[in-house]
Structure 1
């Protein structure tokens, strides 16, 4: 728990194996059990205040495959960041989706947003699902490209998304679509508790003993 929570980036199962002096399979099971705990704990908390939300992809273009958004190697996920009245980020939620469709966004918003939240998004059509879910939605047409990343409405979210991808690339050789939700949850768990690192350990331990064991297959 200490190795997973007290450093900025994640730690691979192979590196965890070296620290623990255990087999790779044991290290993998321990790590993914804790990641499941992290995910379940954060899924119980809804983002409040002003929420910046955007579409994102994990992965890259595969040689010989279709490039761009339609690439089979691109795994879509929604990124949502809540800010306080001073505009500082206080909560993060990253969730894998089947695709950027109105229904997927609506389900994500109902599960993760506080009813009184105000949601900012770009002009992507799927984000109409935020309003359909009953939330106040303020779309901002960005025009796309690098210039859109400099807009103040999404500056914090773009910064955090860059940190997420750098963390995953730096710690893991490969992250499959099957396990991506766990690795995204790991980053969120540390981010949402970054102001009180010491408190993470007893709380994570308390939650871990109450979470069912992970399946034995990887």
Structure 2
């Protein structure tokens, strides 16, 4: 997909006034509505950039109660950050974002993680259906100690791909962290994220049979190890996606904190599931950001792995 070119982006969001107007219409498409009493009659206090309700006199800023709350960063830089995170095939590191939009590293890190949190919140409640491929995977750097399954320095996650047609073309993807590959974890995931009646194709790992308890139909294929197993036609996409994600992450970031892995996975999931609508992804992410509660820095740093 062509997406939105940088000149077109700057033409649309190149000034603070353009970005402010875009956020206003995304938050209040039918005009200002007081969040306290629902009244639509207001006045704008320009010196403080707030809207005052004529009925209850509550003052509301454009970004209050949203992921952009209390920001001192110009909206033009927020929109540029959204552009860079949504229009590229791979991610952008906080260090590169710092250089691209002209802010400090800490500010770039907070902006990136807030936007990834928006993506994570948006993807959480959605369900896959039909024919689904599922596989286990790990993400994390190489460190001394126990290798493979159970390694403390790696975060386990499941890759799940909804496919369509005889060629099993990928439609939507989910990348969700789990505490381990146990039946209880897979059952919990399936009840939250898979529609009843879905056909779930797996490599025969015992825990994947737990999707039955969520009303799904497991079809295990015990494949060979190595390249032949990876190239098995039943797992074409679910074997391809995690590899692409891990290569992109290791190629972009020096390291990824395990407690923030859910956000990094959500970023790739969000982009992949909207790959055919790149041109309007900026407004869509800004729209969701306006409906995502504030995420203070202390909470961004304290995030734990949660599937």
TM-score by length of 2: 0.68
1:70 shift after superposition = 2.5
Residue of structure 1 equivalent to 2:248: 167
Shift of the alpha carbon at 1:108?
A: 0.9
The C-alpha deviation readout for 1:37-72, integer Å capped at 9, x for no partner, is 111111222112210000000124422x11221321
Counterpart pick for 1:70 among 133, 150, 165: 150
Q: Where has structure 1 moved over 6 Å in runs of 4 or more?
A: none
Looking at structure 2, the residues matched to 131 and 163 of structure 1 have their Cα atoms a distance apart, in angstroms, of 29
Matched, 1:148 2:226: no
Whole-Å separation in 1 of the counterparts to 2:161 and 2:280? 22
Larger radius of gyration: 2
Unaligned runs of 5+ in 2: 1-81, 302-307
Residue 38 (structure 1) aligns with: 119
Q: State the SS of the aligned residue for 1:95.
A: strand
Once the two structures are superposed, residues 86-141 of structure 1 have per-residue CA deviations (whole angstroms, 9 ceiling, x without a partner) of 41101000001000000000111111112232111111111111112221111111
* Matched ranges for 1:109-124 at <5 A: 109-124=190-205
User: What are the residue-to-residue correspondences of 1:59-208 with 2, within 5 Å?
Assistant: 59-63=140-144, 65-86=145-166, 87-208=168-289
Which whole-Å deviations, capped at 9, do the CAs of 1:1-49 have from their partners, x for residues lacking one? 1000000000111111111211111111111111111111112221122
Q: Distance in 2 between matches of 1:212 and 1:14?
A: 25
* Structure 1 residue aligned with 2:297: 216
